[in-house]
Chain A
Amino acid sequence: MAPRDDTGPREFRIVGTRPVRPDGIDKVTGRARFGADMVMPGMLTGAVVRSPHAHARIRGIDTSRAEALEGVKAVVTRRDFPAEVPEDHLDVLDNCMAGDKALYDGHAVAAVAAISPSIARKALKLIEVDYEELPHVTDVDEAMKPDAPVLHEEGGDETVPAAVSRNVMHRYEYGHGDVEAGLAEADAVIERSFRTAATHQGYIEPHACVASVSPDGYGELWVCTQGHYMVRNTCAGILGMDEGDLRVTASEIGGGFGGKTTVFIEPVALALSRKANRPVKMVMSREEVFRATGPTASTSIDVKIGMKRDGTITAALAELRYQGGAYAGSPVQMGAMSAFAPYALRHVKTIGYDVVTNRPKAAAYRAPGAPMAAFAVESVLDELCQKFDLDPVEMRLKNAAREGSKASYGPTYPRIGLSATLEAARDTAHYKAPLGPDQGRGLACGFWFNFGGDTCVSMNLTPDGTVTLSEGNPDIGGSRASMTMMAAEELGIPYEQVRCTIADTGSLGQNEVTDGSRVTFAVGLATIKAAQDMIRKCCQRAAQVWGIDADAVIWEGGAARPAGPNAGKFAPMTLAEIAAIASNTGGPIAGHHEANAEGAGVSFATHLVDVEVDPETGAVKVLRYTVCQDAGKAVHPAYVEGQFQGGAVQGIGWALNEEYIYGEDGRLQNPGFLDYRIPVCSDLPMIDTVIVEVPNPGHPYGVRGVGETSIVPPMAAIANAVSRAARVRMAELPMSPPRLLAAIEGSRG
Chain B
Amino acid sequence: MRYEAPRRTEDAVALLAGEAGKAQVLAGGTDLLVRLRTGFIEPDLIVDLKRIPAMKAIAAEDGGWRIGAAVSGIELGEHDGVRRDWPGVVEALELIGSTQIQSRATLAGNLCNASPAADSVPAMYAAGATVRIVGPSGSRDLPVEEVPTGPGKTALARDEVVESIFLPARSGRSADAYLRFIPRTEMDIAVVGAGVSLALDGSGTCTAARVALGAVAPTVILVPEAAELLVGSRVDDATLADLAAACSAAARPIDDKRGTTAYRTRVAGVLARRAAAIARDRALEKA
Contacts and interface: CB of A to CB of B under 8 A. Distances in A.
B260 interface: yes
Nearest to B271: A617
Interface stretch (B10-18, B179-187, B197-205): B179-187
B81 interface: no
B260 A738 contact: yes
Nearest to A124: B39
B38 A737 contact: no
B44 to A, nearest CB: 15
Interface stretch (B125-133, B136-144, B222-230, B261-269): B261-269
Contact of A674 (B181, B185, B188): B188
Interface in A658-696: 661, 669-670, 673-675, 677, 679-680, 682-683
A677 B257 contact: no
Interface string A617-636: 11100000000000000000
Contact of B185 (A121, A617, A682, A737): A682
Interface size class of A (residues with CB under 8 A): 20 to 34
A669 B256 CA distance: 9
A621 to B, nearest CB: 8
B49 to A, nearest CB: 25
B52 interface: no
Given A674-B189, A742-B262, A680 B257 contact: no
A738 B258 CA distance: 9
B185 A677 contact: no
Contacts of A121: 39
A661 B257 contact: yes
Contacts of A741: 263, 266-267
Interface in B238-270: 257-260, 262-263, 266-267, 270
A617 B187 CA distance: 18
A683 B184 contact: yes
Interface in A274-292: 287
Contact of A287 (B38, B185, B259, B262): B38
B183 A736 contact: yes
Contacts of B258: 675
Nearest to B261: A738
A744 B43 CA distance: 48
Contacts of A656: 183
Given A617-B181, A737-B181, A677 B188 contact: yes
A618 B260 CA distance: 13
A657 B187 contact: no
A485 B270 CA distance: 56
A683 B257 contact: no
Given A121-B39, A287-B38, A737 B183 contact: yes
Interface string B11-36: 00000000000000000000000000
A616 B186 contact: no
Contacts of A742: 260, 262-263
Contacts of A287: 38
Interface string A725-749: 0000000000011100110010000
Contact of A737 (B39, B186, B263): B263
Given A616-B270, A737-B181, A680 B260 contact: no
B277 to A, nearest CB: 13
Given A682-B186, A683-B184, A617 B267 contact: yes
A738 B184 contact: no
Contacts of A736: 183
Interface in A594-637: 616-619
A677 B181 CA distance: 14
A363 B185 CA distance: 29
A470 B262 CA distance: 59
B188 A617 contact: no
B186 A617 contact: no
A657 B262 contact: no
A679 B185 CA distance: 9
Given A616-B270, A617-B181, A617-B267, A738 B186 contact: no
Contacts of B267: 616-617, 741
A2 B189 CA distance: 57
A683 B181 contact: no
Nearest to A121: B39
Interface in B46-102: none
A682 B191 CA distance: 18
B219 to A, nearest CB: 21
Contact of B181 (A619, A661, A669, A670): A619
B38 A677 contact: no
Contacts of B270: 616-617
Contacts of B185: 680, 682-683
B247 to A, nearest CB: 13
A3 B270 CA distance: 63
Contacts of A619: 181, 183
Interface string A174-206: 000000000000000000000000000000000
Interface in A684-724: none
Interface in A495-552: none
Nearest to B263: A738
Contacts of A618: 263
B188 A670 contact: no
Contacts of A657: 183-184
Interface in B153-198: 181, 183-189, 191
A680 B186 contact: yes
Which of A287, A617, A669, A741 is the most central at the interface, judged by chain B CB atoms within 10 Å of its CB?
A617
A680 B181 contact: no
B56 to A, nearest CB: 28
A219 B184 CA distance: 45
Given A618-B263, A674-B187, 4 more contacts: A675-B258, A738-B262, A741-B266, A742-B262
20 contacts: A616-B267, A616-B270, A617-B181, A656-B183, A657-B184, A661-B257, A670-B257, A675-B189, A677-B183, A677-B187, A677-B188, A680-B187, A682-B184, A682-B185, A683-B186, A736-B183, A737-B259, A737-B263, A738-B259, A745-B266
- What are the nearest 5 A-B pairs in CB distance? A738-B263, A682-B185, A616-B270, A669-B257, A661-B257
Interface of A: 121, 287, 616-619, 656-657, 661, 669-670, 673-675, 677, 679-680, 682-683, 736-738, 741-742, 745
